[in-house]
Structure 1
Amino acid sequence: MPDLSDNILTERGLPPSGAGRVLVVACGALAHEIVALKSLNGWDHLDLQCLPAILHNHPEKITDAVVAAVEEHRADYARVFVAYADCGTGGYLEAACKKLGVEMIRGPHCYAFFEGVDAFEQRGEITSFYLTDFLARQFDAFVWKPLGLDRHPQLLEMYFGHYETLVYMAQTDDPALTAKAEACAERMGLTFERRFTGYGELATALANA
């Protein structure tokens, strides 16, 4: 499957007619999962527009990008759903969605809603670094290189010295991705733990949408 995360993408199964159609404005890091759920459940009434996943490296830009996408397309749809959690926006995205009258995924970030927000918060983990399927695939592009660790490996201790465990929250049972995630833990000098979460509350939120 092609990487859907780096560009704005609109995937339409049928021409939007307004009535009964739903647009999901989503983080590009969730593209593979949403496309899989759409196919699995036969959600032909659902269209997907993904914003670049790299926005997560600049969370201050997420709210404006989401608002622009919603305002551009909402007239063509019966409903718009925002497939983001707070994602580092400090509550600004939630406030913007309330003002727009659109729903979004509850929780602080995708790690929480994949595992289940309540279960994630009960763990209270403060020394764990998390990967999803997307980040296991794109670790170098979204973690290693943006932090400059490819050029300055001595920064590893500064960035990750307080972490103890790398937790891979797996959406799919893919041995190759598990191996990649485990290799990331080794590079970071962290203990490796794999948790199979499946699609978690992402699936529930989209079903409700």
Structure 2
Amino acid sequence: MRADARKNRDHLLAVAGTAISEQGVDVSLRDIARRADVGLATLLRHFPTREELLVALLRTSFDELTARAGEFETSSSPEDALVSWLRDCLAWTTEFRGVTVLMAAAIEDTESALHASCVTMRAAGARLLTRAQAAGTARTDVDGTDLFALVAALAWLSDQPPLTPRVDHLFDVVANAILTNPAGTDTGRTPPPGP
């Protein structure tokens, strides 16, 4: 790909990422093109379908989360690595509104262009969990699928305006429920007042 075409593609992906974080994965392609200051035909030349745009945007993010798991695995204690990676996953899933539905579908659909990246990312989280379990700091009745489901549930909560202020507190509750020695995971935050 030529340098100018790569630059235009990267610009479209950056704009799409911002649009999805504001409006969710169903944001119109026309709106993305308008925000990028290009015609719809230009956007469609780079990404002929919404799925191709989402695949390009999300696959990069999944790969980054997988890489982060590897970094945490070599630089942090098993407990800290697991909690830090879960925080990164939650931050990402709350940034890209509606993405957890796509992730869940991609993991089950072996024909999805996102399947391999989703499965690899989930496996990276499972490795962190297994490492914490081997160190005796995480429950042994939880697996990578459970971690994925818990992050998806917290991401859904963060997208519900009345519950958004409680997400950090609920993250700590979930982390404390997974870990067998959760002393280091509690942030000391006072739970937000109820509705």
- Please indicate, yes or no, whether the TM-score normalized by the shorter chain is above 0.5: no
Which structure is higher in strand share? 1
Larger radius of gyration: 2
When the two structures are superposed, what TM-score results if normalisation uses the length of structure 1?
A: 0.27
More helix by share: 2
TM-score (norm. length: structure 2): 0.28
